[in-house]
Amino acid sequence: MDLESPAQQAVRSAAKEFVANNIITRASEFDKSGEFHLYLLDAAKASRIFAMAVPKEYGGLGYDALTQALVLEEWGYGCAGMGTTLAASVLSIEAVLIAGNDEQRRRFFAPMLNGEIGAFGLTEPEAGSDVGAGTTTAVREGEGYRINGAKCWITNGGVASVYVIFAQTDVKKGTKGLSAFIVERDRPGFIIGDKEHKLGLRSSNTVYFEFKDVQVPAANRLGQEGDGMKIAMKTLDTARPAIAALAVGLAQRCLDECVGQLHRRFPDRPFPGQTLQFKLADMQIQVEAARQVVRHTMMLRDAGLPFARESAISKTLGTDVAMTVSSEAVRLMGSGGYTSELGKFMRDAKVMQIYEGTNQIQRLVISRALLAPTAGAAPLPKGVAS
Amino acid sequence: MNFELTEAQQQVGRNAQTFARSHLDAMALDLDRCGVFPKGIIDELAGHDFLGLLVPMASGGVGAGFINHIQVVEAFSRSCPAIASILNNHALAAHAVAQWGSDAQKQHYLPPLAKGRKLGTLAIYEDGPSPGIGPDPLLALRQGGGFTLTGTKAFVRNAGVADLYVTFATLEPTAKEPRLTAFLVDADTSGLTIGPGLDTMGLKGCPVAQLFFQAAALGPDALLGEENGGSAIATRLLSLGSLAEAAQTVGIGWAAVKHAAEFATRRVQFGHPIATLQAIQTLLAEAATDCHLAWLGIQRAAQLVEDGAPFEIHAAMVKAFVGRFGSRTLIDAIQVEGGLGISESKPFGVGGTMPLARLFRDMAGTTLLDAPADFPAKLIAESIV
Ligand SMILES: Cc1cc2nc3c(=O)[nH]c(=O)nc-3n(C[C@H](O)[C@H](O)[C@H](O)COP(=O)(O)OP(=O)(O)OC[C@H]3O[C@@H](n4cnc5c(N)ncnc54)[C@H](O)[C@@H]3O)c2cc1C
């Protein structure tokens, strides 16, 4: 803890307090209903936490990566579903930070400063891991582009005000023909479809949407035509450790809930048998290791050093640990665990192994860095970037 | 030893598979959604003779063995694990009466249990480290030739829908090593109330609740076996229960592996079905291996049960083993299906409902460790140290 600066400590304790008052209290209710936690946007408005990744010069909080991770860990401790809303909005901000010009940034960040949120739309029905297989097109027309196609599994897709959308400007080129666009929610032809009912992260809004002849000006294109894949991958590099931070928070929560349940059920036995004691120790070992890997990744990023490999490692380790720890917690606490909130954490963790690039795709990236550190020596499937 | 099943045993297995496909597949989703105990299916189960499997023929049952029981539980679990669980709770209660009941008790309870006119279940757990020593144990007092029960049983399955609770209480709490005594408690016993159904993650439709006893009066004929003889009964029932839960784990596991494998042959990414990827094949192969090896262990233990040989260590090992892989099977099967795997409904572009999310939740409810006495390592270690 002492390794955090006073400013980071202050942010963390503010986040902890916010989570205790606004998230932990209502997470279960929204998990049950599956409704989007709209109230949270209001609750967070004053703190402008949804603008935590927006640089100060644009009026945001300008938190460095490590500080963002501290906040996300607290949010994950409260509810990974609500944390996912924040993380996905940050993801859209990162894309604009990576590829947007000054005017685009101002435009895109304005809603975030006002407590609104963004979304990042890459996945399509036939293009999940294989990002290059997308068929959404953006055809140049005079001063702008006409977008047609569909996106699925988009977090915040039904509740965001601004979107970063990926579409083919040159279908023949596959991943090299992918481009990124800012699309505002109120553009005609942008049709928001059904929301998914999910095993976990239930209150996080995940939707399918379509573009029917949606017109956007050329000023909405991020970077050059064909930069889309590079932008997407760079953005996901920044986002993966953020998901890992949520996962670490979730896993720590499971442990704390286990201890709470044990002490409630067996008040006169502060220590259970060694079998259970050691299981808890094993779980804590994993959580702490994952936490440090996430923080290390963020520190690399803050220092301006390469962190793509560490990003993949932290996402895989963090979400795998969250999965293991939460399912062990349910099993070890027996019917008491299975009928408590621990079950929610287990359901939430499962989803986190899949989104932001599955943990298999991360392993491709990690093993390539190990086996063939020189670029191109062991080609990844087309569309998987390092 | 011989793992071949007799023709009669195979027939029961086939019947269970047919019943699962014709009756359970179609109801599994709705049951998960509404979570209300499916009364109607009890008649169907009785009509197909699945409720009297462990009841001797002389008492109106099928007189089949434990091997048949695990076959049925496994087959049902592939389609609707909640029904497998309801059936298993019932079968173990019927088995308890058949095994330890007096002639009068058998005559009274077994024919209706075998024919589904009565549903049974077990009430063993309490909200403490083990029955008898927690904050609110179920205590029995001798009174006027009979007994009165006061206290609470926790996490009782089939609660509120069972007619018979095979209930374990502590008769002499101050004894140096207090032991349990088993009672046959009718649902309409005055002084017995059922708590609200708990919010379970899965196995929806199989209600779980507490039983509250307030000076509930029982006649002498409610005693099952001997006074203070209940601990041995409970241990044996829990061991049998471990095997049935293991069969449930294997059934859910196979259902998931098969669904994921089929999905993987259809889902194309990077130009090929993902089933051609080694990473996917490994996930499927490991899950299949776990299910297969567990099933061998379960069958072996069930054979010992039928032979009247000691099987408790085998059951503990099986429990320890399925506990290690049960949830992982669903974690990995869903991983194979990616985003679609976590869907609780009919996602875009997919004709039907995706089942793995439901099976994930059902699996979590199948591999629980409910009391420290459940930690199988202790029993296993004692047998080898
Ligand atoms: C809750 C949720 C929120 C999401 N939010 C967003 C969002 O905001 N924006 C967005 O763009 N997307 C989002 N997604 C989509 C997510 O990124 C994809 O689900 C993910 O990339 C996987 O794609 P898929 O589901 O199509 O699985 P598939 O790509 O079909 O993968 C199926 C299986 O095959 C494996 N696999 C695929 N290719 C390989 C390979 N080459 N080697 C080894 N294994 C492989 C995968 O690991 C997986 O196990 C979200 C998904 C979920 C579930």
Of 1.10.540.10, 2.40.70.10, 3.20.20.370, 3.30.450.20, which CATH number belongs to B7-119?
1.10.540.10
pLDDT in tens, B138-178: 999 999 999 999 999 999 999 999 999 999 999 999 998 88
Q: What is the mean pLDDT of chain B?
A: 94
- Position of tokens 């008491």? A336
Question: Given the structure tokens 């604009």, which residue do they identify?
Answer: A96
| Protein residue with its CA nearest to atom 53 in ligand 1 | B339
User: B200 with B365: CB under 8 angstroms?
Assistant: yes
List the alpha helices (DSSP H) in B267-351: 278-307, 312-341
- Report residue A33 as tokens: 């209903």
Chain B residues within an 8 Å CB radius of A346: 201, 327, 364
**Ligand 1 near A158 CB (within 6 A):** no
Architecture of domain B232-384: Up-down Bundle (1.20)
Q: What is the pLDDT of residue B288?
A: 98
User: Which residues of chain B are in CATH 2.40.110.10 domains?
Assistant: 122-228
Of A120, A92, A122, nearest in space to A107 by CA = A92
Pocket lining: B280 vs ligand 1, CB cutoff 6 Å: yes
**pLDDT tens, N- to C-terminus, chain A (386 residues):** 457 899 999 999 999 999 999 999 999 999 999 999 999 999 999 999 999 999 999 999 999 999 999 999 999 999 999 999 999 999 999 999 999 999 999 999 999 999 999 999 999 999 999 999 999 999 999 999 999 999 999 999 999 999 999 999 998 998 899 999 999 999 999 999 999 999 999 999 999 999 999 999 999 999 999 999 999 999 999 999 999 999 999 999 999 999 999 888 877 777 788 888 999 999 999 999 999 999 999 999 999 999 999 999 999 999 999 999 999 999 999 888 888 999 999 999 999 999 999 999 999 999 999 998 765 444 455 555 44
Give me the pLDDT at residue A1, please: 46
Q: Is B274 in the pocket of ligand 1 (CB under 6 A)?
A: yes
Average pLDDT, integer, range B132-141: 90
Enumerate the CATH 1.20.140.10 domain ranges in chain B, comma separated: 232-384
Note whether A336 contacts B: Cβ–Cβ < 8 A: yes
List the single best residue of A130, A151, A152, A199 to mutate versus B (max B Cβ within 10 A).
A199
At residue B353, the pLDDT reads 82
Query: Does the active-site annotation cover A356?
Result: yes
Amino acid occupying residue B333: A
Q: Where in chain B is the domain with CATH 1.10.540.10?
A: 7-119
CB A210 within 8 A of CB A193: yes
Confidence at B299, pLDDT banded by 50, 70, 90: very high
B331 ligand 1 Cβ < 6 A:
no
Q: How far apart are CA A372 and CA A351, in angstroms?
A: 30
Vertex A37: Cα angle to A322 and A8 (nearest 5): 55
CA A176/CA B222 separation, integer angstroms: 78
- The pLDDT value given to residue B3: 73
Q: How confident is the model at residue B378, as a pLDDT?
A: 82
Nearest Cα to B223, choosing from B180, B270, B266, B264? B180
Alpha carbons B99 and B55: distance in angstroms, whole number: 9
- Summarised one tens digit per residue, pLDDT across range B261-293 is 999 999 999 999 999 999 999 999 999 999 999
Cα–Cα distances in Å, from B136 out to A95, A128, A337, B133, B354?
Answer: 57, 53, 19, 8, 42
Q: Which residues of A are less than 8 Å from B378 in CB distance?
A: 275
Q: What's the pLDDT score for residue A128?
A: 96
CATH code for residues B122-228: 2.40.110.10
| Interface pTM, i.e. ipTM | 0.95
* Catalytic residue from among A116, A257, A328, A356: A356
Cα nearest neighbour of B332 on chain A: A350
In this predicted structure, the answer to whether residue B135 has a pLDDT above a threshold of 80 is yes
3-state helix, strand, coil in chain A (%, to 5): 55, 15, 30
What is the distance between the alpha carbons of residues A358 and A364, in angstroms, rounded to a whole number?
Answer: 10
- What pLDDT does A380 receive? 56
